[in-house]
Structure 1
Amino acid sequence: MRSERGLDWVSFLLADVQSGVGPFLAIYLWSSQHWDATHIGVIMTIAGAATVAARAPAGALVDWTLGKRGLIAAGALLVAAGTAALGLFPFFWPAAAAQTIIGACDAVFPPAIAAISLGVVGRAFFAERVGRNEAFNHAGNVVTAIAAGLAGWLIAPVAVLWLVVLLACASALALVMIDASEIDHRAARGLADGDDDPDDGARPSGLRVIFESRPLLIFTAAITLFHFANAAMLPLVGERLSEGRDQTGSLFMAACIIAAQAVMIPMAALVSAKADLWGRKPLLLAGFAALPIRGLLYTFFDDPAYLVSIQLLDGVGAGLFGALFFIVIDDLTEGTGHYSLALGASGACWGAGAALSNVVAGALVDTAGFNVAFLFLSAVAALAFLLLWLGMPESAKPERSAA
């Protein structure tokens, strides 16, 4: 369908827009503007805090509105404006304001894209569609990372910011390929024909549905620990690689991203093909296991080629989780009518973990060095794996696994 092709393009173009400038911001502020690790961690935490605050309301808005495409377009254009401000005014308070805007917009993109996908293809083909979305998203990250690395190396680190501005505007234009008439907004909320609408008073409110689901609470706790351990690792690697390499820091960061994203593409395809057949938990455990190993390996050597190669493990962990998150939440909220709200609330929790990660890791680097920070993050990642393994049940319904 035309809308599925539109989802391909939007997922591809939104790749780096979803997180603003991501780890390239750490490179830019560290090497070009000479910020210290603590202030970089704070400025990145501001974006994370804005995302956390906006995620549950954004999810509720996505459930409610019929203008899901418009939400994504507005968010992309605001990210473009905020990223432009980072390039023009690289000072703390302007950067904090820009990061607040970017972080709030980041809360809109995942639930809106997932809801549109669910509304277009339905629950029976949702795992396949999510895997395809993530594969195109990772492919977009690879292309963008190559372009950003070359721009930072040949021009200046600030050129990366202007590339994100361009991609944000292009992703807003690509939304016209998604036909609004092909979106079943009832299905997009997680309802099927015959399900009562919870907003008519027949069922508990959305937040009550979320808090009464023990598997959903355990899953949220595990992914919060996972993201606390994961969020700071790549920015810290970028800072380590850019020490004494001002002009090549962006190039090394691009190599890290490309290495990870190249693995994420087949991982997303694996989820698309096997999540219904194998179940969700085995794939999740494989992704969670990669993270503590990755953090530990970062402490062995400082060689750029070695550090870049370790990013292959990031591709395993993030590639599996990135697709499975949307599928597991759909499993656990089936029939509630509050799919996007649950995505937002759960995402807010792990977003809080990710935001706090940058501050804690930045402070550890300044006081005890990079290796101590990596070992601490690895220990948290191991705890996340144990919680998922021991506490989280399989979420796939038997009929889907049989299919």
Structure 2
Amino acid sequence: MIPGMSDTAEQGEGRTGPESDDERRARQRERRIGAHRSARRVLARSGHQRTLRERLDLLERAADVYDLDELSDLYGGGVVEALEEKVAGLLGKEAAVFFPTGTMAQQVALRCWAGRTGNPTVALHALAHPEVHERNAFSQVSGLRPVRVTSEPRMPTAAEVRDLDEPFGALMLELPLRDAGHLLPSWEELTEVVEAAREREAVVHFDGARLWEATVHLGRPLDEIADLADSVYVSFYKSLGGYGGAVLAGPRALTEEARAWRHRYGGTVYQQFPTVLSALVGLERELPRLPDYVRHARVVAAALREGFAAAGVPWARVHPEVPHTNEFQVWLPYDAETATEAAVRQTEETGTELFGRPWGTPGPGLAVTEISVRAESLEWTPDDVKAAVTDFVARVTGADGL
């Protein structure tokens, strides 16, 4: 994930001491979200930047996707079961089970596979979500032993899987690999990696938190992609705009065991209908639109490259150059603090938000952020993007004195 922002601290009125890092980050985030909410034009609006009232509006569409006169769910069943069946069908899997979080879903899936293979070792990328963002949950909570196939900022190769110098029971592939730039392999590369795992007598699990938008790059429908794996996890809030929640799909025997472990992990929640209804709405409303977002992300990325070149930026990188999904990275030769300040000021002063996410510092004199292309982005033409880039660069170079 992109490192957090680090704006220059400002002294608040009446302060008796320097501002702490936590206070500075909280202030920066509040300012950035305030600018985002007041902006007239943005590339994407995400759920965590909306008010509770605005988020509740999502359920106004619930009657279009489910019979609201049915009884509510109770520790599963009802609307929860309907979501499970729908996702199992979309992914072409025998069965599916709902989880409150993807972290829980994947721990359960892989410990279930470990029991079947007799090997608790999970091969995965060094940038995979469990390795970077879950506080060593595999080893600390689930008795699993992660081993890294590669640390390179790209997808693992079939040769690396085939030549890994110790046995493993499961290969976990994050599709797309978010922290490397939302990267996907080609369809041929993916099938070769899966075949290499099979040669090692390992099962294959897809971390498909954002698998929904992988169909354009891979050139295959969801069920054909999911068919390569023994089990698949998908998320409902990252791409589909739901309140949260996840589903683990695979063989019925696996999902039934996963229900038992879900209970043990505290994930069999009394009622989940708001989250589940929001997921059903997302599947109905957003899933069909994701291919359009991916295709337009390529338009936005090309305009960004052209805009930075025209503005005289000595070096700029859109990564990947042709986005694999509707999200990608932008790297610039500026200090992250300066880039952050320019981005927020542009939003505050023009009402146009080009860069709404934090800027991180991957190295001295470098700044990197993520771009997400969603429904709001479809209104942006290439000329709109280039004009916003010109304005942004003017603010950055003015602040840097370049």
Pair in the same fold by TM > 0.5: no
Give the number of the structure whose residues are more often helix, by fraction: 1
Name the TM-score class by shorter chain.
under 0.3
Normalising by structure 1, we get a TM-score of 0.21
Larger radius of gyration: 2
TM-score by length of 2: 0.21
Q: Which of the pair has the greater relative contact order for Cα pairs under 8 Å at 6+ separation?
A: 1
Bigger strand share:
2
